Amino acid sequence: MKHLKATTFLIAAAFAGQALAQEAGGRLDIVVQPEPPGLMLGLVQNGPTQLVAGDIYEGLLRYTTDLEPEPGLAKSWDISEDGLTYTFHLNEGVKWHDGEPFTSADVVFSADVFLRETHARLRASLAYVDTITAPDDLTVVFKLKEPFGPFISVFEVGTMPMIPKHIYEGTDYATNEMNATPIGTGPFKFDKWEKGSFIHLVKNEDYYVDGLPHLDEVYYRVIPDAASRAVAFETGEVDVLPGGSVENWDVARLTEMDGVCSTGSGWEFFAPLAWMWLNNREGPTSDVRFRQAIMYAMDREFVRDVVWNGFGKIPTGPVASVTNFYSDGVTQYDYNPDKAKALLDEMGYDGETVRLLPLPYGETWQRWAEAVRQNLSEVGINVEIDSTDVAGWNEKTSQWDYDMAFTYLYQYGDPALGVSRNYTADRIQKGSPWNNVEGYENPELDAKWAAAAVMADPEARQDAYDEIQKEIVDDVPVAWLLELEFPTIYRCNVHDLVTTGIGLNDGIRNAWIEQ
Amino acid sequence: MIRRFASNKGAVIGVLILLIVIGLALSADLLFPRGPWAMVQRPFLVPFTMDGFPLGTDTLGRDVAAGLVHGARVSLLVGLVSTIVALAIGVPLGAVAGFYGGWADEGAMRFTEFFQTIPNFALAIVLVAILEPTLTSITSAIAIVSWPPVARLVRAEVMAVKRREYVDAARLAGLSNFRILTGEVLPNTVSPIIVMASLMVATAILLESSLSFLGLGDPNAMSWGYMIGAARTVIRSAWWLSFFPGVAILVTVLALNLIGEGLNDALNPHLSRKGTA
């Protein structure tokens, strides 16, 4: 442990200081919604898979709720002055769940071979990587072609999970039969998956951190209906409701029960930001004054307080306040219907109907769309809500067949990883609902986004992103709605459940139950 | 006939209720000029606790009373229009089948049976889902699933009537088949059709509510079914959001059924249970 950075020691000390006497043992029941399509984290990375597989697999680093890296499978790391060489020193004595030792060869295989092929989001970052080498069994060196500021943020378990080389090397990854019984290095081992009912994980007795994990077993329970999930929590059948597993209207009722705690923390790394795509290509939404009018017309605080029960923050622009390089030195769009009307008069809006496509994720999002429609109609904008299902929403947004469309996307801790993709012209491509769907084109800003991504000096990056945010907020390429917080609801006798920036996804390692 | 109808207390009550509902629907814009979607008070306002909001407010602070009154328009409109459309399909088809017989009858009835073999509600759901939910598509879907019984009823009536002496007389007088059908036969089948139509309006209102409840309503039109569907997730903390629209549906459908029964008694004295004729 002598390689640990001073900051990490301080964090560890702080945790140790405030923690009660931790008790070992016990079983935790957690809702997983919807049922994951698979648990092999290198192949599937959707939300429910990350939630469950985050206990089985591990990444080189973990991230605090302030997005500071802390040790994971790597106990320490060095970054060269020029920002080109990242050296990781691995923990000793780490074993895969089948008993094989975990070494630097597994890291090289995971990052350079397996994930390069299967993980689209990581592949974009790996494009900056020149070589990945293993000088010895416990050291891995990433050499970059040019400095890539956000590179230190790609080692989280969902982004770069460690894959066992001895199982996957030379096989067809997608059809490897071991996908059904995943082998990782994590604090819990896969035991059993009863489809449609539960996934059972048991304690990894050989875990490399002494005394962890505290729990004996974890059940991830599949309960298809939101109301039934709420009831299951009330009756004590489950102990933890991860964010988004019950309708928002139930959150208030459940958190008021005795012995129930909740936290909005644990989403800092993802920083889900909700906005409306505004079609910049045609119709009234192609006029910047119309887009600004939308921002002034919406009572975003009302929605936060009523539809989201007070959870979340009002965003100032494209970068969420918890994401690195956030800046609030931008034009503020407060609720101001008069200003909206003035802007509409100025542009000569003729009452043309604009279509609004809600996100088909349940009642919360439907009510939200209704509130926005009402806000807009009160300043004189004619809005018609399109009804849709998930497939229809995907189709309409990826084919640009919309005027305004709800969405939310993750930011992954850094603007270059999860923000610029929605605003630069090179990401305008039909067929994906995750890129620059609004069709915003600004060559000057494109150059600034590109430059900011490869700056080695964090302060220079901050300046660059300050400037970008200031300019883009005046253009309103999309209508930023809310920094989402999905409250995790749990029984108060469960402690240390959310300790990192990805929350429950790797939280069960530290969790313990007060008997 | 009107006297016979008026002697039926239930029918009179039904007419009164329906008139009130129609009156409210027509005056919706006067009573609630800001529309049913306006967020006018704090959310989840309990009924009878604040002046001006007797029925409370919903999840977004919208006035439940405004929703009910504006929703009445959608329910009545969909009920009425879809019934008219269903009659426009069912009556001619049934009349032709019953009057001409032969292959026309065979063809028309097999076509009707094709629709009758598919459960009404399932077919309506599929149609609305394919067409995307709008008031037009919902009304059409309801009309399309409701016309087969009309066709069968009209066919049976026409077959009975066309053997009467006065039809033979008309034929001897040299009237064309079309003139006989429209001038002599159909007018004498009107009474059961009227009775059926009044009940169909009630069924259509229920169908529309069920579709909206399932989230297949027109998202831009406030309707009773939508109100109940949206209230489902908060039913344990806000009972009034589903209770009042539920009562509205119940009362309106009940009124239409009472009227239908009254009409039946008045128009078909032979079938009357009271035997007052």
The shortest CB-CB distance from A385 to any of B60, B219, B230 is to B219
Q: Of A80-84, A117-121, A238-242, A365-369, where does mean pLDDT reach its minimum?
A: A117-121
Q: Between chains, do B220 and A367 touch, taking CB under 8 Å as contact?
A: no
Using pLDDT thresholds of 50, 70 and 90, give the confidence band for residue B273: low
A234 touches chain B (CB under 8 A): no
Using pLDDT thresholds of 50, 70 and 90, give the confidence band for residue B155: very high
The pLDDT assigned to B222 comes to 92
Q: What is the mean pLDDT of residues A186-202?
A: 91
Q: What is the mean pLDDT of residues A12-36?
A: 71
Q: Which of residues 484-513 of A touch B (CB under 8 A)?
A: none
C-alpha to C-alpha distance for B158 and B99, rounded to whole angstroms: 6
Q: Spell out which residues of chain B touch residue A366, defining contact as CB-CB under 8 Å.
A: 215, 219, 230
The pLDDT assigned to A196 comes to 87
The pLDDT assigned to B49 comes to 86
Using pLDDT thresholds of 50, 70 and 90, give the confidence band for residue A199: very high
Q: Which of residues 40-79 of B touch A (CB under 8 A)?
A: 43, 59-61
Using pLDDT thresholds of 50, 70 and 90, give the confidence band for residue A14: very low
Tokens matching residue B171: 């034929």
The pLDDT assigned to B145 comes to 93
C-alpha to C-alpha distance for A241 and B266, rounded to whole angstroms: 61
Let me know if residue B222 belongs to a domain. Answer: yes
Q: What is the mean pLDDT of residues A106-132?
A: 87
Confirm if A86 and A141 have CB atoms less than 8 A apart. Answer: yes
Q: Between chains, do B220 and A385 touch, taking CB under 8 Å as contact?
A: yes
Could you read off the pLDDT of A462-504 as tens digits, one per residue?
Answer: 999 999 999 999 999 999 999 998 889 999 888 888 888 888 8
Q: Which residue has the higher pLDDT, A481 or A33?
A: A481
Let me know if residue B240 belongs to a domain. Answer: no
Confirm if A405 and A396 have CB atoms less than 8 A apart. Answer: yes
Whether pLDDT at A316 is above 90: yes
Q: What value does the mean pLDDT of chain B take?
A: 89
C-alpha to C-alpha distance for A454 and A363, rounded to whole angstroms: 42
Q: What sign does the dihedral A86-A92-A97-A98 (CA atoms) show?
A: positive
Residue A411 neighbours by CB under 8 Å, 6+ apart:
A270, A271, A272, A273, A319, A320, A323, A417, A418, A419
Let me know if residue B176 belongs to a domain. Answer: yes
Residue A116: Cβ within 10 Å count: 15
Q: Give the containing element (helix H, strand E) for A76.
A: strand A74-79
Q: Give the containing element (helix H, strand E) for B48.
A: none
Q: Which residue of B has its CA nearest to A227?
A: B233
Whether pLDDT at A33 is above 50: yes
Closest Cα in chain A, distance from residue B105 (Å)? 41
Residue A138 neighbours by CB under 8 Å, 6+ apart:
A89, A90, A92, A103, A104
Whether pLDDT at A8 is above 60: no
Q: Which residue of A has its CA nearest to B37?
A: A374
Confirm if A48 and A34 have CB atoms less than 8 A apart. Answer: yes
Q: Spell out which residues of chain A touch residue B233, defining contact as CB-CB under 8 Å.
A: 226-227, 247, 249-250, 363
The shortest CB-CB distance from B233 to any of A249, A378, A384 is to A249
Closest C-alpha among A85, A127, A147, A64 to residue A460:
A147
Amino acid at A202: V
Q: Between chains, do A374 and B38 touch, taking CB under 8 Å as contact?
A: yes
Using pLDDT thresholds of 50, 70 and 90, give the confidence band for residue A3: very low
The shortest CB-CB distance from B59 to any of A227, A358, A367 is to A367
Domain that holds residue B216: 2-35+65-231+255-276
Q: Which residue of A has its CA nearest to B38?
A: A374
Confirm if B36 and B71 have CB atoms less than 8 A apart. Answer: yes
Whether pLDDT at A7 is above 60: no
Q: Spell out which residues of chain A touch residue B215, defining contact as CB-CB under 8 Å.
A: 366, 387
Confirm if B228 and B213 have CB atoms less than 8 A apart. Answer: yes
A226 touches chain B (CB under 8 A): yes
Could you read off the pLDDT of B50-72 as tens digits, one per residue?
Answer: 888 889 998 889 999 999 999 99
Let me know if residue B238 belongs to a domain. Answer: no
B233 touches chain A (CB under 8 A): yes
How much is the CA Rg of chain A, to the nearest whole Å? Answer: 23
Q: Between chains, do B38 and A247 touch, taking CB under 8 Å as contact?
A: no
Q: Spell out which residues of chain A touch residue B59, defining contact as CB-CB under 8 Å.
A: 249, 306-307, 367
The pLDDT assigned to A20 comes to 53
Let me know if residue B70 belongs to a domain. Answer: yes
C-alpha to C-alpha distance for A383 and A377, rounded to whole angstroms: 7
Let me know if residue B129 belongs to a domain. Answer: yes
Tokens matching residue B193: 């059709």
Let me know if residue B245 belongs to a domain. Answer: no
Whether pLDDT at B277 is above 60: no
Could you read off the pLDDT of A136-153 as tens digits, one per residue?
Answer: 989 999 998 988 888 888
Relative orientation angle of helices B190-213 and B135-161, to the nearest 10 degrees: 160
CB pairs under 8 A between A and B: 50
Using pLDDT thresholds of 50, 70 and 90, give the confidence band for residue A170: confident
Could you read off the pLDDT of A324-352 as tens digits, one per residue?
Answer: 899 999 999 999 999 999 999 999 999 89
Q: Of A4-18, A38-52, A73-87, B99-113, where does mean pLDDT reach its minimum?
A: A4-18
How much of chain A exceeds pLDDT 70, in percent? 96
Q: How far is CA A300 from the centre of its chain?
A: 22
Closest Cα in chain A, distance from residue B248 (Å)? 22
The pLDDT assigned to A360 comes to 84
Whether pLDDT at A45 is above 90: no
Q: Which residue of A has its CA nearest to B215?
A: A387
Q: Of A99-103, A222-226, B35-39, where does mean pLDDT reach its minimum?
A: A222-226
Q: Between chains, do A384 and B220 touch, taking CB under 8 Å as contact?
A: yes
Q: What is the CATH number of the domain that holds B128?
A: 1.10.3720.10
The shortest CB-CB distance from B233 to any of A247, A302, A387 is to A247
C-alpha angle with apex A332: A327 to A270, nearest 5 degrees? 45
The pLDDT assigned to B271 comes to 58
How much of chain A exceeds pLDDT 90, in percent? 46
Closest Cα in chain A, distance from residue B138 (Å)? 13
Q: What is the mean pLDDT of residues B154-179?
A: 90
Q: Between chains, do A366 and B61 touch, taking CB under 8 Å as contact?
A: no
Q: Answer yes or no: pTM beyond 0.80.
A: yes
- Find which of A370, A388, A395 to mutate to test the B interface (most B CBs within 10 Å of its CB): A370
Buried b (16+ CB within 10 A) or exposed e, B87-101: bebbbebbbbbbbee
Closest C-alpha among A202, A163, A170, A154 to residue A185:
A163
Whether the bond into A34 is cis, omega within 30 of 0: yes
B188 touches chain A (CB under 8 A): no
Confirm if B222 and B70 have CB atoms less than 8 A apart. Answer: yes
A381 touches chain B (CB under 8 A): no
Q: Spell out which residues of chain B touch residue A384, defining contact as CB-CB under 8 Å.
A: 220
B234 touches chain A (CB under 8 A): yes
The pLDDT assigned to A21 comes to 65
Could you read off the pLDDT of A385-424 as tens digits, one per residue?
Answer: 998 887 888 889 989 999 999 999 888 888 988 899 899 9
Let me know if residue B208 belongs to a domain. Answer: yes
The pLDDT assigned to A43 comes to 84
The pLDDT assigned to B276 comes to 46
Q: What is the mean pLDDT of residues A310-331?
A: 92
Q: Which of residues 386-405 of A touch B (CB under 8 A)?
A: 386-387
Q: Per the structure, how many domains does chain B have? A: 1
Q: Which residue of A has its CA nearest to B44?
A: A306
The shortest CB-CB distance from B60 to any of A227, A306, A385 is to A306
Using pLDDT thresholds of 50, 70 and 90, give the confidence band for residue B162: confident
C-alpha angle with apex A363: A362 to A366, nearest 5 degrees? 95
Q: Which of residues 273-312 of A touch B (CB under 8 A)?
A: 302, 306-307
The pLDDT assigned to A125 comes to 85
C-alpha to C-alpha distance for A47 and A35, rounded to whole angstroms: 10
Q: What value does the mean pLDDT of chain A take?
A: 88
The pLDDT assigned to A46 comes to 78
Q: What is the mean pLDDT of residues A270-290?
A: 93
Q: Between chains, do A370 and B60 touch, taking CB under 8 Å as contact?
A: yes
Q: Which residue has the higher pLDDT, B267 or B38?
A: B38
B230 touches chain A (CB under 8 A): yes
Q: What is the mean pLDDT of residues A287-292?
A: 94
